[in-house]
């Protein structure tokens, strides 16, 4: 009966908590959250709330719970060095140390790692710490294609700027670079890659890398991928553990890149990466390319893969910690999933928008049928649930086919009443066929 410390308060962590509590080892869950999540709290023996910057408070809570190991959900605690602190306290963690978390927290570290160790998947890129020489490099890339601008640091999944979507001219690009350098030490400029994106979340014990089924996320706020980038409005996966726009070799190629990155990190630092390597990839004309890595499970992608995990999640975590992942058979159910986020109507819109007040409004949840609900950012009060300014509730449909899973998720959304919105197109036949046609045009 292990004592497990869970760090995080979102829907991803709610899904992690649920997966842990399915274990035959009957774990006791202790959760430290930035704000109280009623879904996580209902599964936990004890909870504490506080800042992810307060290492002393987290250390004290972990010690009082006599934690056998910890799972780190969000990226901020990793960047704050929480795994280092827990390690010093004798508590192993599913998550990399601050140095190894640079895989996510420093895009330049990752790009240069691939370059140094000749790992495939890198686009043309260059890292800049000042505006000098940026203009000539932008001109060079614009001549051969469009560009992407990325801050070298954490941005909550909303910092990437794509030419044609977020800016158009070279002058616009230079202004964005100047603004980024006011807040970040470096800015990375890359060639824009044309294709379809997919997420491949992998478990890693430092030597062995094992992949979960691929997932496609939807960052844009509105239907047909319109509007601003968000933390993710929803995602889907297929029952055959691939995606219909991918070639048969795309997922193995992405997994091979991740395995080489795990090997390179050890060669570069002398330390084993233990935790999640979540690669954001793009299927392009010339093959699979790497967009970025995250050092933790995705949100919403965790809600697509964890409910399908048939292997005992506690045993999987222990194998990561002990370095025995190669001895564990990791099995996922052959079912399709569709995850759709319920958000306040004003989510992703300017603060002066007429719907901005929806963030603090109450929601009522009726009969959601077969769907699973994961709380993200809600406050449980005496008279019910209230939304904050972020994503509120994730509804997940799981079924033998993608169409049935989508209907289950959409039915659940209809049962959530209030000043809410969602993307009804996620997981639909029309939206997916559009991506299939897109890849046919690119790859022929």
pLDDT reported for residue 219: 94
For the chain, the residue count is: 444
The CATH code for residues 124-191 is: 3.30.1490.20
List Cβ neighbours of 187 (8 Å cut-off, separation of 6 or more). Answer: 127, 128, 134, 149, 150, 151, 152, 177, 180, 181
Q: Which residues pair with 4 in a beta bridge?
A: 29, 69
Q: Where are the domains of the chain?
A: 3-94, 124-191, 200-327, 336-434
CA distance 270 to 146: 37
The Cα angle at residue 254 between residues 248 and 259, in degrees rounded to 5? 130
**What is the DSSP code (8-state) at residue 285?**
T
**What is the DSSP code (8-state) at residue 357?**
G
Residue 268 phi, psi dihedral angles, 5° rounding: -75, -40
* Residue 161 tokens, joined: 């700027």
CA distance 151 to 255: 26
CA distance 212 to 302: 10
Taking Cα atoms as reference points, which of 156, 149, 142, 133 lies closest to residue 187?
149
* Contact yes or no for 389/319 (Cβ under 8 A): no
Domain 336-434: state its class.
Answer: alpha beta
Mean pLDDT, each 10-residue run in order, the chain (444 residues): 97 98 98 97 98 96 96 96 97 98 93 96 89 82 76 74 81 87 87 94 98 97 93 97 98 98 98 98 96 96 98 98 98 98 94 84 97 96 93 98 98 97 98 97 92
Residue 228 phi, psi dihedral angles, 5° rounding: -70, 160
CA distance 328 to 316: 7
* Contact yes or no for 89/59 (Cβ under 8 A): yes
Element housing 294 (H / E): strand 287-294
Of 3.40.190.10, 3.40.718.10, 3.30.300.20, 3.30.470.20, the CATH number of 200-327 is 3.30.470.20
pLDDT reported for residue 134: 87
Taking Cα atoms as reference points, which of 115, 108, 109, 82 lies closest to residue 96?
82
Identify the burial level of 87 via C-beta atoms within 10 angstroms of its C-beta, where 0-12 means exposed, 13-18 middle and 19 or more buried: middle
Distances in whole angstroms, Cα of residue 297 to Cα of each of 107, 337, 350:
17, 16, 28
Dihedral class, residue 157 (left if φ above 0, else alpha if ψ from -120 to 50, else beta)? left
Topology annotation, domain 3-94: Rossmann fold (3.40.50)
* Contact yes or no for 361/419 (Cβ under 8 A): yes
CA distance 144 to 149: 16
CA distance 162 to 338: 27
| Within this chain, domains 124-191 and 336-434 share the same CATH topology | no
């Amino acid at each position: 009966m292990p004592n497990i410390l869970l760090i995080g308060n979102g829907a991803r962590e709610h899904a992690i908590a649920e997966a842990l509590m399915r274990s035959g080892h009957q774990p006791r869950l202790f959760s430290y959250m930035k704000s109280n999540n009623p879904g996580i709290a209902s599964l936990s023996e004890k909870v504490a709330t506080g800042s992810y910057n307060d290492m002393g408070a987290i250390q004290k809570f972990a010690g009082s719970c006599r934690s056998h190991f910890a799972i780190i959900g969000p990226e901020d605690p990793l960047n704050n060095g929480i795994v280092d602190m827990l390690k010093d306290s004798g508590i192993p963690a599913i998550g990399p140390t601050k140095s190894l978390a640079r895989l996510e927290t420093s895009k330049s570290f990752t790009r240069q790692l691939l370059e140094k160790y000749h790992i495939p998947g890198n686009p043309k890129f260059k890292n800049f710490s000042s505006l000098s020489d940026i203009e000539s490099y932008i001109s060079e890339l614009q001549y051969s294609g469009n560009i992407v601008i990325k801050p070298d640091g954490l941005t909550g999944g909303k910092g990437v700027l794509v030419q044609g979507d977020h800016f158009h001219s070279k002058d616009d690009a230079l202004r964005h670079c100047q603004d980024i350098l006011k807040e970040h030490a470096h800015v990375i400029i890359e060639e824009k890659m044309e294709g379809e994106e997919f997420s491949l979340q992998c478990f890693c014990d430092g030597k062995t890398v094992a992949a979960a089924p691929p997932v496609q996320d939807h960052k844009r706020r509105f239907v047909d991928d319109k509007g601003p980038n968000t933390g993710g409005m929803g995602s889907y996966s297929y029952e055959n553990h691939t995606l219909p726009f991918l070639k048969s070799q795309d997922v193995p190629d992405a997994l091979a890149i991740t395995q080489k990155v795990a090997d390179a990190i050890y060669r570069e630092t002398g330390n084993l990466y233990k935790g999640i390597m979540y690669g954001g990839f793009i299927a392009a004309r010339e093959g699979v390319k790497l967009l970025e890595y995250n050092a933790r499970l995705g949100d919403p992608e965790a809600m697509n893969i964890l409910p399908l995990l048939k292997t005992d999640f506690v045993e999987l975590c222990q194998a990561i910690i002990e370095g025995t992942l190669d001895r564990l058979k990791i099995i996922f159910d052959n079912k399709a999933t569709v995850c759709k986020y319920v958000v306040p109507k004003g989510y992703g819109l300017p603060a002066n928008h007429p719907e901005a007040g929806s963030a603090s409004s109450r929601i009522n949840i009726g009969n959601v049928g077969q769907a699973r609900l994961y709380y993200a950012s809600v406050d449980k009060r005496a008279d019910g649930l209230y939304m904050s300014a972020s994503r509120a509730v994730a509804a997940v449909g799981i079924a033998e086919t993608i169409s049935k899973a989508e209907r289950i998720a959409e039915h659940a959304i209809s049962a959530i009443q209030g000043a809410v919105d969602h993307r009804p197109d996620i997981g639909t036949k029309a939206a997916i066929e559009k991506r299939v046609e897109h890849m046919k045009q690119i790859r022929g």
